[in-house]
Chain A
Amino acid sequence: MESVLGRYRNLTILVGVLFLQVLGLAVQVKRSVDAEHTRLIRIWAVDAITPLERILVWTQNSTNNVWHNYFFLRGVRAENRQLKEQIQQMRLEQVRLNEDAAQARRLQSLLAFKEQVVMKTVPAQVIGSSGSDLSRSIYIDKGSNQGIAPDMPVITSGGIVGKVLRTYPSTSLVLMINDQSSGVGVLLEKSRLQGVLRGTPEGELVLERVMSDEQVTPGETVLSSGGDQIFPKGFPVGTVMKVSPGKELFLNIKVHPAADLSRLEEVLVLTEKQEREVVAESGGKVRAADILAQRLPSVPDKPATVAGAPVAAAGKLAGTAAAGSIPSAKPGPNGGTKPAAVAGTGTKSAERPALRLAPASTTAESPVVKSSDSDASNGRVPSDGTNRATSSTTKTPEKPAAVPSNPSTPQASPQPAAENNPN
């Protein structure tokens, strides 16, 4: 026996060393909380490497700062002027987006949606990577001391970067979305198709689980769906680069990441997000089904009578405004906006009052035209969110004339008209 071991000494030691490592792996896999059992060893390794990386990153940044902030200031004036102009444009854009957001919140509340709001972020600097070709992970210079915890999303201004995998006192390991073991729940912006985004051995991103009979076009934006319970919904993840038939019944969709994952320097860690149910600003109840019904397109009705023609035209105007895009919303009298659809001026419903009201009183046409044109296109509704019949007869522009069309207000719609309603 001894002679055999002596003869194959090298091989025996090799088998022994391999066996020990396999045993160690098996223990980690069996307990499946790898981070807990190997934490101390990892801390030692990270503590040995990261201080040096910090020093180098700091030196590199300091040199860059000195160069860029003190010596290389060519073109700063022109850039400053350009940035000021950009700020002006962005302010205008911000106003519009605020209105859109307010409108979206109201619509979400109507549909009882819950939204995740990013409450707090911690900026961090990338100081290194995992040091292996097959894993895509980075180290950042913030850890549990700064409130970082595992599974927190990591983003940049461009888009999603990854999630925190492990935390140490002053550093954290971030698993990037292009790692093979990573998976992000995503959806396509236009088609709203959902899928899972995974990394490839080459560090590319592939969207999986999209059936081959679906239409996906290159250039389409990929957003986080929130389905993975890690990344908040709606964050940009990337754009569709190439679509080709994949294995089985699924498409092979290559995605270009929104964030430049190979040139990361600074990132943000979302340390706090809150899931809240949106509360409508207006107190009135409007059914989501009504909103959807109003937004559905329909064939415009032909003018029934000569007298009714202007009214029908008013209805069309209102319908067009309501069926238009969200950005058509403008500030309401209370500073906020009301969704265009809530104004009850969807294509179908907008034309109903015109046809109904026309025979009743042609004198009412003027306010109808006026209010439909102004209010409906502005997406306004009364501040209490309810639709009042009286508003159609008043000549104040804040009271939408098309309001009586809303099916949720029976007092506004005479019964015969409701019976004639094909919808």
Chain B
Amino acid sequence: MPITYTSGEQIEVYRFSIPVTVGVPLLALFLQAFLPRRIFSIFDLPLLVTIFFGMARRNPISGLFTGAAIGLAQDMLGPYPIGIYGIAKTVVGYLASSLGAKLDVENAGARLLITVAFYLVHQAVFFTVARGMVNLTLNWSWSHGILSGLANGIVGMVLYFVLDKFKQRT
């Protein structure tokens, strides 16, 4: 059973040290910008970090602010107006932490599914804002979206496993 409904008392809430809280998103942004595009372009490391922190902290407010901060930072480095990624990642951060507060998402299979789902949510919000508000001529590709979602899900499982080491029990 990959996803289990659990009562609030059963779910553990984690926190992270300040260096991890600041350093991991920055490192993700840096790697996203620095790693060769040929291989790593389909991965969205900042999104994975947003999902991880949201699910681990299980606090919707901190989740949405983490997502907003990471998304806005990503926007600043990109060619599009600032706020598109910010909005998308705010929504994902909020949903991830809300989901984390209700479900046990420690299982690897559950994490894969959730990451794929959140990737698609992220893309949906991104495209809605980019096309609806900013009027960017972006085209949605289902094949690319699903493949990228799966790829991010697989990388996410590994990344979450590594980041689990930095968790501190409250």
- Show the binding face of A for B, using Cβ within 8 Å: 9-10, 13-14, 17-18, 21-22, 24-26, 28-29, 34, 38, 41-42, 44-46, 49, 52-53, 56, 128-139, 165-166, 173, 175, 179-181, 198, 200-203, 261-263
Contact = CB atoms under 8 A, between A and B. Distances in A.
B90 A263 contact: no
B14 interface: no
Interface stretch (B4-12, B78-86, B162-170): B78-86
Contacts of A198: 137
Interface string B72-93: 1110111111111111001100
Contacts of A261: 37
B144 A131 contact: no
Given A138-B37, A181-B80, 10 more contacts: A14-B94, A17-B65, A22-B87, A25-B82, A131-B78, A165-B79, A180-B138, A181-B137, A201-B138, A263-B36
Contact of B141 (A25, A53, A173, A201): A201
Contacts of A132: 32, 44, 74, 77-78, 85
A49 B30 contact: yes
A24 B79 CA distance: 16
Nearest to A202: B144
Interface string B42-61: 11101000000000000011
B82 A262 contact: no
A383 to B, nearest CB: 53
Nearest to B41: A133
Nearest to B67: A17
A180 B41 contact: no
B46 to A, nearest CB: 7
B105 interface: no
A131 B74 contact: yes
B44 A21 contact: no
B157 interface: no
A133 B86 contact: no
Interface of B: 29-30, 32-34, 36-38, 41-44, 46, 60-61, 64-65, 68, 72-74, 76-87, 90-91, 94, 98, 126, 129, 133-141, 144-145, 148
A201 B90 CA distance: 23
A44 B86 CA distance: 17
A53 B34 contact: yes
B68 A135 contact: no
Interface of B is mostly: helix
B154 to A, nearest CB: 15
Contacts of B65: 17
Nearest to B126: A134
Contacts of B32: 129, 131-132
A327 to B, nearest CB: 38
Contacts of A26: 133
Contact of B34 (A128, A137, A175): A128
Nearest to B72: A21
A34 B87 contact: no
Given A56-B34, A128-B34, A181-B136, A137 B79 contact: yes
A28 B82 contact: yes
A180 B136 contact: yes
Contact of B60 (A10, A34, A42, A49): A10
Centre residue among B79, B129, B140 by max chain A CB count within 10 A: B79
Contacts of B77: 42, 45-46, 49, 130-132
Contact of B33 (A9, A131, A180, A181): A131
B165 to A, nearest CB: 24
Contacts of B42: 133
Given A10-B60, A180-B136, A21 B79 contact: no
A203 to B, nearest CB: 7
Contact of B90 (A18, A44, A45): A18
B138 A21 contact: no
Contact of B76 (A9, A18, A45): A45
A-B pairs, top 6 by smallest CB distance, nearest first, are A45-B76, A262-B38, A131-B33, A25-B83, A131-B32, A10-B60
B33 A38 contact: no
Contacts of A29: 81, 133-135
B2 to A, nearest CB: 26
A263 B74 contact: no
Centre residue among A9, A42, A56, A131 by max chain B CB count within 10 A: A131
A181 B76 contact: no
A34 B81 contact: yes
A17 B83 contact: no
A72 to B, nearest CB: 21
B43 A133 contact: yes
A331 to B, nearest CB: 46
B146 to A, nearest CB: 12
A27 B91 CA distance: 21
Given A10-B60, A13-B61, A29-B133, A130 B78 contact: yes
